[in-house]
């Protein structure tokens, strides 16, 4: 019996049908395991599909994510040379490569025994073939030759947010406040697209710094959609599912009951925002007892405005508006509310952080103007002294 409706198990090779839009609603839940008469492995389910901005979205012009041969990707990465490796995890390895066209890409080679299986692989290909937004990473293609499962993404030269928040190299500059606010806004817009512009909404389910990629200008894009899940439909309040994601980011009600809603993503986003502000990891067992779990450690400070300054990352050097810090912490507190229905909607979070980012830019501009004025006065005084 087939374990996934888009997979034909009669051969080792697999072709992902990116036109299987109506079946996205079945992913991770009521996957249709029946094969149809054509042998394509796609059932004859509902044709309701998923709407993007009120319309059934189609893959990108030209076919969207393209299918690569393993030979093409081996050539692009110089046979997956260690020198081309730019990341490694339980899912497999990521390599920087150059396609025959000259385009530089990131190629994720999944470990057959890793955390990401066929189902998550297909979900990611389908999701990123259909959903397009400036704050979602662009999937260029995939490879399913034999047992190989590879994903080809646009190359993000600054790596992940994780690379710029934790365990910095001695010569690495920490993110300044304005850049952190810019990243918060972009990540929130990506989540807003999934929650509000798609019907039924899509729950990302794996929001963490490692999955927020950055381009040269630190413009953020969400990546790794293998765990994404279509949200509740009709009068349902939640989706019941096996608990998946990364420990330390899962909302408490989801971790305890498996009941998933879009508010689960809001909690995860609150954790990421707290990491952005503090420069601390969600879980860091190298810290002393009482400081290993970020949310638990931060709650007493979050509840006392007099202690807000103690939450700020020391690497910021105090170069931020205390007023903006207070607003940011207030938003984080709402996102981390243990009662899911009391957490804010992502649209409200976007508006709030857009305001904070704008205020930070204004403050920086005023500071630069004062510096320029002071410099001009100093030059004038030196001339007069002669």
In a domain, 375, yes or no: no
My answer on whether 139 and 202 are in the same domain is no
Annotate 256-288 with b (16+ C-beta within 10 A) or e (fewer).
eeebbbbbbbbbbbbbbbbbbbbbbbbeeeeee
C-alpha 220/C-alpha 185 separation (Å) is 9
Q: Are 191 and 207 in contact (CB under 8 A)?
A: yes
Strand order of the sheet with strand 55-56?
55-56, 51-52, 198-199
- Confidence at residue 33, expressed as pLDDT on a 0 to 100 scale: 31
What backbone torsions phi and psi does residue 140 show, to the nearest 5 degrees?
A: -90, -35
Q: What is the pLDDT along the chain (386 residues), one digit of tens a residue?
A: 334 333 333 335 555 554 444 445 444 443 333 333 333 332 333 344 566 766 655 555 444 688 999 999 999 999 999 999 998 876 789 999 999 999 999 999 988 765 556 778 888 898 888 889 999 999 999 999 988 999 999 999 999 999 999 999 999 999 999 999 999 999 999 999 999 998 889 999 999 999 999 999 999 999 989 888 888 887 787 777 777 878 899 999 988 988 899 999 999 999 999 999 999 999 999 999 999 999 999 999 999 999 999 999 999 999 999 999 999 999 999 999 999 999 999 999 999 999 999 998 888 877 777 776 666 666 666 666 55
Residue 205 · residue 264 · CB < 8 Å: yes
Q: Are residues 106 and 90 in the same domain?
A: yes
Q: Are residues 176 and 251 in the same domain?
A: yes
Q: Is residue 55 part of a domain?
A: yes
Structure tokens at 263: 């508010």
- Same domain for 222 and 358? yes
User: Helix or strand or coil: residue 203?
Assistant: strand
Residues 6+ away with beta carbon under 8 Å from 101 = none
Cα separation, 58 vs 302, in Å, equals 44
Q: Which residues are annotated as a binding site for ATP?
A: 108
How many CB atoms are located within 10 Å of the residue 200 CB? 18
Burial 155-190 (b: 16+ CB within 10 A, else e): bbeeebbbbbbeeeeeeeeebbbbbbbbbbbbbbbb
Reported in sequence order, the residue ranges of the chain that DSSP labels E, i.e. its strands, are: 51-52, 55-56, 66-67, 85-89, 92-98, 104-110, 139-143, 150-154, 198-199, 202-203, 212-214, 220-222, 229-230, 239-240, 259-260
Is the distance from CB of 28 to CB of 203 less than 8 angstroms?
no
Per DSSP, the three-state class of 107 is: strand
**Domains contained in the chain, number:** 2
CA 45 to CA 78: how far, in whole Å?
43
Output the pTM of the full model.
0.83
Which range marks the domain in which residue 198 is found?
A: 161-366
Do 59 and 110 lie in one domain? The reply is yes
pLDDT score at 374? 60
The pairing of beta strand 66-67 with beta strand 139-143 = parallel
pLDDT value at position 227? 87
Same domain, 197 and 276: yes
Do 216 and 150 lie in one domain? The reply is no
Choosing from 154, 179, 201, the residue where a domain stops is: 154
CA pair distance 28, 26, nearest whole angstrom: 6
CATH number for 301: 1.10.510.10
CATH number at residue 113: 3.30.200.20
Output b/e per residue, 330-366; b: 16+ Cβ within 10 A: ebbebbbbeebeebbebeebbebbeebbeebeebeee
* Residues 202 and 209 sit within 8 Å (Cβ to Cβ): no
Question: Domain check: are 182 and 255 in the same one?
Answer: yes
- Residue 15's pLDDT is 52
DSSP 372: H
Residues 150 and 179 in one domain: no
Within a domain: residue 228? yes
Tell me which long-range contacts 240-247 makes (C-beta under 8 A, separation of at least 24). 241/28, 241/29, 244/205, 244/206, 245/205, 245/206, 246/206, 246/208, 246/282, 247/283
CA distance 121 to 132: 18
Q: Is residue 12 part of a domain?
A: no
Residues annotated in a binding site: 108
Distance between CA atoms of residues 71 and 320, nearest Å: 50
- CA atoms within 13 A of residue 260's CA, in its CB half-sphere: 26
Tell whether 92 is covered by a domain.
yes
In a domain, 378, yes or no: no
Domain boundary among 154, 184, 199: 154
Q: Which two three-digit tokens encode residue 332?
A: 């984080």
Residue 37 lies in a domain: yes
Question: What distance in Å separates the CA atoms of residue 96 and residue 108, rounded to the nearest whole number?
Answer: 9
Q: Which residues are catalytic?
A: 206
Query: Does 301 lie in the same domain as 166?
Result: yes
Residues 137 and 200 in one domain: no
In a domain, 171, yes or no: yes
Please tell me whether residues 207 and 148 are part of one structural domain.
Answer: no
Domain end point (choices 154, 170, 203): 154
């Amino acid at each position: 019996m087939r374990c996934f409706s888009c997979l034909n198990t009669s051969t080792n090779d697999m072709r992902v049908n990116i036109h299987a839009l109506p079946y996205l609603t079945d992913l991770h839940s009521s996957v249709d395991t029946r094969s149809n008469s054509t042998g394509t492995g796609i059932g004859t389910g509902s044709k309701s599909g998923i709407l993007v901005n009120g319309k059934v979205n189609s893959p990108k012009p030209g076919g969207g994510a393209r299918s690569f041969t393993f030979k093409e990707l081996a050539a692009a990465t110089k046979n997956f040379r260690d020198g081309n490796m730019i990341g490694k995890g339980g899912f497999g390895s990521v390599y920087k490569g150059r396609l025959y066209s000259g385009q530089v890409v990131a190629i994720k080679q999944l470990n057959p025994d890793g955390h990401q299986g066929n189902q998550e692989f297909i979900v990611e290909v389908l999701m990123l073939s259909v959903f397009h937004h400036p704050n979602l990473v662009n999937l260029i293609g995939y490879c399913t030759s034999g047992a190989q499962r590879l994903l080809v993404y646009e190359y993000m030269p600054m790596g992940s947010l994780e690379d710029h928040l934790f365990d910095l190299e001695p010569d690495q500059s920490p993110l300044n406040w304005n850049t952190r606010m810019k990243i918060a806004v972009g990540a929130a817009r990506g989540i807003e697209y999934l929650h509000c512009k798609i019907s039924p909404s899509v729950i990302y389910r794996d929001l963490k710094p490692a999955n927020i990629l950055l381009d040269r200008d630190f413009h953020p894009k969400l990546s790794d959609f293998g765990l994404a899940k279509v949200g509740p439909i009709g009068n349902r309040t939640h989706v019941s599912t096996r608990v998946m994601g990364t420990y330390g980011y899962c909302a408490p009600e989801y971790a305890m009951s498996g009941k998933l809603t879009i508010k689960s993503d809001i909690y995860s986003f609150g954790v990421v925002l707290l990491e952005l502000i503090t420069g601390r990891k969600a879980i860091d067992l190298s810290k002393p007892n009482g400081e290993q779990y970020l949310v638990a450690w931060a709650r007493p400070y979050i509840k006392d405005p007099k202690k807000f300054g103690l939450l700020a990352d020391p690497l910021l050097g105090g170069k931020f508006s205390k007023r903006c810090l207070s607003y940011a912490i207030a938003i984080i507190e709402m996102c981390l509310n243990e009662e899911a229905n009391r957490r804010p909607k992502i649209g409200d979070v976007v508006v709030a952080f857009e305001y904070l980012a704008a205020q930070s830019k204004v403050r920086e501009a005023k500071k630069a103007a004062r510096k320029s004025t002071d410099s001009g006065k100093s030059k004038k005084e030196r001339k007069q002294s002669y």
